[in-house]
Amino acid sequence: MSSAPYRILLCDLRSDRLLDALPVHGVSIDDYIGKTGSMRGTVPIPNRQIADRARRALVPGRTGVWVERGRDIWWGGILWTLNLASDARGFLGAQIQCGGWESYLYRRLLLDTLTAEQVDQLDIARGLLDYVQNTPGGDLAITYDDTLSGVLRDRTYLRYDLPTVGDLLDQLAATENGFEWRIASYRDGDGRRVKRLQLGHPVIRTGTSEIVLDHPGPVLSYSWPTDATQKANAWQSRGSSVNTNQAAESFPLMSTLLVDDADIDAGWPRLDGTSDYTTVEQQATLDAHARADWNASRAPVTIPEVEVMPGGNVSPALLGATVRLRIRDLWWPDTLDARYRVVGLSIQPPERGRPETARLYLEVP
């Protein structure tokens, strides 16, 4: 089977002005909710004309990249590294590695103090993006809607801490009764390329029709890992130092100790966990972070992976959508039939004797 017709649109990062469109081989795409996606591939350089075009357009840190599969946009992000490589036969290729648009927010520091009092948490998130895009050279034309979560927060972000905006968004989202965020790439109804901040409370959900995946059937293979190495039924978090007297010994703010007695009574051993929030100075805020971390850690982590063929209903647009998975085999002789949310997707290029495949990462309810 031949590879899918991928090509990349190379644009000026700040203006999104199209610089060139080039074919790309060996495309590997990762996209997630709660984690920055990536794209890797090789732009073949068969002649001097293509070399000149690629040299002008492939500028790490300054070039925006949109990946097209056919006429649909499957991914968008920023070119961060370029490796020009020639093999033993003299074939030249430009190997590129890109990070999703979210990666830019981890390269931007908060250099001013921002304060929010009883502000909806999604408005705080949009305010952080506005801070980035209102600075000279910082506007990437990332859009958003005005949906509210109904959860009001008090936050003070100090410029002295020099946090990245991406880290602040992650920390805000991960608190108790928080939200999910990502930056989606697509074409709108008029064919324009769009970067859009998606905010979902408590989670991002997309799609209206349910997709059914069967094994045996469209599901080529699956993996069902269960990892208890991060499980914790007792938790305490540390915050900022509460001592303002520099001559005295300093101690960090500590959250309330949380212990799941029912879990221990059920036979589980005591398993301790902790997290650090060195910029958090309020007890209520630290306790909310601790409860969120504790709730996320009390069960072993299970993230099923299913491998399917891309195309049709299987595309990056599935992120946040619900699929119905049905598996019948030796482990599930009576058939597993359950619904899961797609929280990650990885496109693997075709290999010798193996077609292009897509791996879906699923969230267990």
Residue 327 · residue 41 · CB < 8 Å: no
Q: What share of the chain is helix, strand, coil (3-state, %, to 5)?
A: 15, 45, 40
Q: What percent of the chain has pLDDT over 90?
A: 82
Place of tokens 């931007």: 108
Q: What integer is the mean pLDDT of 266-283?
A: 94
What confidence score (pLDDT) does residue 1 get? 35
Cα–Cα distance for residue pair 291/296, rounded to 1 Å: 9
Segment 221-259, tens digit of pLDDT: 999 999 999 999 999 999 988 766 666 677 899 999 999
How does residue 2 score in pLDDT terms, banded at 50, 70 and 90? very low
pLDDT, residue 365, reads 72
User: What percentage of residues in the chain have a pLDDT greater than 70?
Assistant: 97
CA distance 113 to 30: 34
Question: How far is Cα of residue 346 from the mean position of the Cα atoms in its chain?
Answer: 12
| Residue among 30, 38, 102 nearest 305 (CA) | 30
What pLDDT shows up at residue 246? 64
Could you give the CA distance from residue 351 to residue 26 in angstroms, rounded to a whole number?
9
Task: Find the mean pLDDT for residues 163-187.
Answer: 96
What confidence tens digit (pLDDT) does each residue in 40-92 have?
A: 999 999 999 999 999 999 999 999 999 999 889 999 999 999 999 998 888 99
Residue 215 binned pLDDT confidence (cut-offs 50, 70, 90): very high
Of 352, 365, 360, nearest in space to 33 by CA: 360
The predicted pLDDT at position 34 comes to: 93
Give the DSSP H or E segment for 38. strand 38-45
16-28 pLDDT per residue, tens: 999 999 999 999 9
Name the CA dihedral angle for 294, 296, 297, 299, rounded to a multiple of 10 degrees: 120
pLDDT confidence band for 128 (50 / 70 / 90): very high
How far is the C-alpha of 178 from the C-alpha of 200, rounded, in Å?
9
Residue with tokens 């398993």: 271
Residue 210 — pLDDT band, cuts 50, 70, 90? confident
In the DSSP assignment, the letter for residue 354 is B
Position 355, amino acid: P
Is the pLDDT confidence value at 158 over 80? yes
User: How does pLDDT run across 294-340, given as a tens digit for each residue?
Assistant: 999 998 889 999 999 987 788 898 999 999 999 999 999 999 999 99
Residue 243 near residue 250, CB atoms below 8 Å:
yes
pLDDT, the chain, mean: 93
* Residue 247: per-residue pLDDT: 64
**CA dist 281 → 112, 173, 230, 235, 257 (Å):** 18, 18, 26, 18, 17
The DSSP secondary-structure symbol of 161 reads G
Concatenating the DSSP letter of every residue in 199-235 gives EESSS----SSPEEEEETTT--EEE--EE-TT--SEE
Of 43, 29, 23, the C-alpha closest to 84 is 43
Give residue 197's pLDDT.
98
Q: What local confidence, expressed as pLDDT, does residue 121 receive?
A: 98
pLDDT for 244 equals: 61
Q: Which residues of 142-178 are buried (b: 16+ CB within 10 A; e: fewer)?
A: bebeeeebebebebebeeeeebebbebbbbbbbbeeb
Question: H or E stretch including 27?
Answer: strand 25-32
